């Protein structure tokens, strides 16, 4: 009997619950004044799954990038969420924005890529360990150089990928 589907369902439920709690918190934290609503402002929240806004240089880069499309800082909710506003008539200038600028982006960074990398590392590490176990359980006579080197190669690749992730996160 496998417990994985149950565990996956629990994890999915917890993720939905966290998102719902976060949305409710944002509704409470982002009360708009009558003046703001009457002045015809647009609002958005940019989110970073990795908490990138903790780093002052990343936060400043976000502010610069958003200002290109006319967004102004309203408040930094925490290291994962920043709220912006801009006049609604700024939409008319969106067609003149430089290529690659999305005036309505709501995420910063690429959490999907990070998750994929972590899964890849886990698979590579498990493969390396598995091959190491297989190669160590056979008799010494039937071990080929490939069988001996493969776990070392897998661990080396895992190490290089981990270093690349660390370097990327520091930027």
- Domain extents in the chain: 32-109, 112-170
In whole angstroms, how far apart are CA 109 and each of 3, 9, 119?
33, 27, 18
What share of the chain in percent tops pLDDT 70?
71
DSSP 57-72: HHHHHHHHHHHTTT-E
Model confidence at 1: pLDDT above 50: no
Model confidence at 122: pLDDT above 70: yes
Q: What token pair was written down for 60? A: 């400043």
Contacts of 166 (CB under 8 A, 6+ apart): none
147 alpha-carbon distance from chain centroid: 36
Higher-pLDDT residue of 75, 167: 75
User: pLDDT class for 55, splitting at 50, 70, 90?
Assistant: very high
Per-residue pLDDT, averaged over 111-118, amounts to 64
The mean pLDDT of the chain is 79
| The pLDDT of residue 2 | 47
Give the chain's length. Answer: 171
Model confidence at 103: pLDDT above 80: yes
110 alpha-carbon distance from chain centroid: 4
């Amino acid at each position: 009997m496998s417990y994985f589907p149950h565990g996956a369902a629990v994890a999915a439920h917890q993720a939905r619950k966290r998102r719902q709690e976060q949305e409710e918190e944002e509704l409470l934290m982002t009360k708009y004044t009558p003046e703001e609503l009457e002045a015809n402002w647009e609002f958005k929240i940019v989110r970073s799954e990795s908490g990138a806004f903790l780093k002052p240089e990343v936060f400043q880069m976000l502010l610069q990038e958003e200002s290109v499309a006319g967004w102004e800082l309203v408040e930094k909710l925490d290291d994962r969420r920043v709220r912006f506003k801009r006049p609604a008539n700024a939409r008319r200038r969106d067609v003149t924005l430089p290529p690659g600028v999305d005036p309505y982006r709501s995420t910063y960074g690429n959490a999907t890529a990070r998750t994929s990398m972590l899964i890849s590392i886990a698979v590579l590490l498990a493969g390396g360990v598995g091959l190491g176990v297989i190669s160590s359980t056979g008799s010494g006579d039937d071990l080929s150089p490939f069988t001996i080197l493969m776990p070392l190669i897998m661990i080396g690749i895992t190490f290089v990928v981990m270093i690349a992730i660390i370097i990327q996160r520091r930027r």
